[in-house]
Every structure is written in structure tokens, then in C-alpha cells.
Chain A
Amino acid sequence: MAIEISEKTIKHEFIDRINELSGQDIYKCFQCGTCGGACPMSGQMEILPRKIMRMLQLGMAEHISELETGWECASCHSCSVNCPRGIDLARVMEAVRLLILRKNINKIEPSRLAEAVVRELPQIALVAGFRKLTS
């Protein structure tokens, strides 16, 4: 599917908001792909973090909100400690998630988790998961 990218499609306010929330400068990214190579979850990711960074630079707010990548992030900071440009990508991914979560959209619904799973999981899994994946 063709994606139109032009001056008109670039959402500058979206870029500003991501930079503000993450405290990072997404324009620093030069597309080396080290983040995806370091990411433990990248094996199952359709779109790698490098591409997300490029889409962020192009202000593709709607496209990014439909992708799974930010939700697959485990906030392990492997990308952040390996980025040669010093971008803390874990913070960028958090900003991507928060812009959706703050519209009261949950990625997982706690009330719909199977009882057996809730019973079995360590508390830190539930607390961390709810913190990162629910509004």
C-alpha cells in the first residue's frame, strides 16, 4: 500500500509531543538498526524500532498508533544502552504508548485475564504489565 508522505502529512505537533514526553531528540536517529539487533522481542516484531524512529521523524502519527511495536517493548533498555546516537529508545516507546493510553485505551484488559493466569503470575508481572499496558 502506498503511503503518502509530504509536507502536509507530517504532524509536527506529534513529533514535538513525543520529544517532550520522552525527553529525547528523535531527529538524532540515523537509521543504523542497532536497536532492533539488540531488542529481545524483535524476532516477533513486524516493524522494527528503527522503522518506528523513521516514521516518528516523518510525523506519521496515525500509522504508528496502529502498529504493535511499542506494545511489544519490554522496557529492558537494550536498545537504549546500545544506541550509538545516545537515544533512550525505551523512553521513546513509552511516549508512543502513552499518547494512546492517555486516550483511555487499554492494550490489555485486566478484568479479562484468565483467573488461573492471575493466580499464577508473580505480582510484579501484573503490576508492571498494568503500568505499561493500561491507562
Chain B
Amino acid sequence: MKVSYYPGCTLKTKAKHLEDSALASLAALGVEIRELPRWNCCGAVHSLADDDLIHHVAPVRDLIRAKDEGSERLVTLCSMCYNTLARANLLMRNDEVKRKTINDFMTEESDYQGEVEVEHLIPFLRDVIGWDNLRAKIKVPLTGMKIASYYGCTLVRPQNVAIEPVAGKIMNEFVEALGAEPIDFSANTLCCGSYQVLAHPDSVADVVGRIIESASRAGADALILSCPLCEYNLLKKQEELLEKQKIGRRMPVFYFSQLLAMALGLGPESYRPDMSDAASVEFLKSKNFSVESAAVQA
């Protein structure tokens, strides 16, 4: 089975620690995914207006690239890219009229009918590697770490692209496979405010406070996620909230793949503590993980 990999813009810069840790982990697990030789920004959000087809062109073009590579699957790491690509894919698969319009418009590309499966890395790990296999390959079990999995919105909404019908199972299984203790918390799918950080930063701070407090009250040591925008909002707004004493303490935040790389026994050049914030680095130190990264340039 041939699997293509779509990184998306943010993973090449601000979220390099998401990409580096995930790719190094997959290599250690013996799974090969190949980055699309050509790709463009997916557009980050799905167009919701019935007459707006032009904004579907970008994600569909990426899907066509995967199909032209002969891939059956396109794996993503970024939650927003996953959501945008998966929804564009369903549109091409299910809406005959819009499919024809989009295909006719992209005269220079091969016709596309939704042949490729878009998959996020978390279900991919479960389905292709399996939790038991993953457990067998863990070299440094994350024993004693209490990890809250934050899904946000784009992994679970709308329902037709949700990575599981009711959020809370798959990421807990992942955490358990790493040897850590999964922590359930009520705000695990509460949106962090997303791009509203541009227009309504205070509303974003308000909702981030609710997410952090919810995870904190549930007893989490740290939080994991897979969206670079959630990561930014959760880290940035915690600074403000702590200053205003609206949260009790800073919650360390990691990409799920950083913990995966750590548990697989990979070095800091893979889990990239140099790209994490100070509170998260302190947490790693307290758990005896090396944070001395050999200067890796992003």
C-alpha cells in the first residue's frame, strides 16, 4: 500500500517539532510515508458557502497530487489540514455537480473523484501499526505521566470527518500505549477559538482558560494535541492568563508525536524540546528527558 504524506505550511516552520517527531517515529516504527513531491497550502479552512467552489481547488489539487503518485492514502499530521483535505475529498466523492465543475475548471489536472483516503496520523497509527505493536516497540515507557488529550474541533467536527464518533477513546488508547496515564477532561473538544486570535483575542483567552482549568482540575500533568493553531493559542494565552491570575499554573503542551518519539527512545533531535516553551521543557527535565538539543535548525 502506497502512502503519501501532506505536511502543510505550518509544519515546515512554526510546527517543525510536530513534523520532525512524527517522521522520526514512523521511521523507527518501520513505516514509510512519502512527502508529496509537489503540494500547496490546503487553505486551512473548509469553505462553507454553497456557491464558493474556488476555495476547494487548493485542497483538491493536493488530493490529485496524491492520486497521481499512485497513493491510496494521504496522511496528515496537522488537524486543520486533515479537516480541510478530508472535507474537500468528501465533496469530490459525494457531490456530482460540484465535482464536475471543479474538475472542468482544473483542465490541466487529471479528473478526481475522491479516490484517495485522507487520514490523520493518530488513526493511521492504530490501523496500520496497531496499539499492541506500538506498545512492543516502546523503549522508554512514560510511566507516571498524566496526559490529557485535547482534540479541539477539527479532528472531531463535523461528524463526517471525525476521527472517531465520540471523542475520548483513540487518543487515550494512544497515551496508554506509550505507558502514560490518560486523563479524561470535559473540555477536550472545546474549540480554542482558532483564527479568532486575530479578531477577538480576549474571547480566545477566555476559552483557553476554560480548557486549561478543565485539564488541570482533572489532574493532568500535561496536555497533548495535533494542531499548530491550538498549540499557539494554548501556549500564548496561558502567559496572559497566568499574569492575570486566571489560571493556577502553566500546563505543559506537547504535540502527540513528541511524546511518541520520546517513548520510542529517540533523541531530542527528534522530539525537539528546543521548539517547546519553557514550562513544557521544565516538565521534560522533571521527567529526566534530555532537553539539550544539538542545535537543529528549523
> CB within 8 Å of B: which residues of A?
20-23, 40-41, 43-44, 71-72, 74-78, 80-81, 88, 90-91, 94-95, 98, 107-108, 113, 120-129, 131-133
> CB within 8 Å of A: which residues of B?
8-10, 13-15, 41, 43-45, 47-52, 55, 78, 80-81, 153, 157-159, 189-200, 202-203, 206-207, 210, 228-229, 231-232, 236
Asked whether B232 lies within 8 Å of A74 as measured between CB atoms, the reply is no
Complex Cα–Cα for A123 and B198 (A): 12
A-B contacts, 26 of them at CB < 8 A, read A22-B48, A40-B207, A43-B206, A44-B202, A71-B200, A72-B199, A72-B203, A76-B191, A80-B158, A81-B159, A91-B49, A95-B48, A121-B232, A122-B10, A122-B229, A123-B9, A124-B228, A125-B194, A125-B197, A126-B198, A127-B9, A127-B41, A128-B229, A129-B198, A131-B44, A131-B47
Complex Cα–Cα for A68 and B105 (A): 36
Choose from B14, B49, B153 the contact partner of A123 (Cβ within 8 Å): B14
Instruction: For B196, list chain A residues within 8 Å (CB).
Output: 41, 72, 74, 129
Asked whether A122 lies within 8 Å of B228 as measured between CB atoms, the reply is yes
Asked whether A43 lies within 8 Å of B203 as measured between CB atoms, the reply is yes
Complex Cα–Cα for A77 and B78 (A): 18
Asked whether A129 lies within 8 Å of B199 as measured between CB atoms, the reply is yes
Instruction: For A125, list chain B residues within 8 Å (CB).
Output: 194-195, 197-198, 229, 232
Asked whether B206 lies within 8 Å of A124 as measured between CB atoms, the reply is no
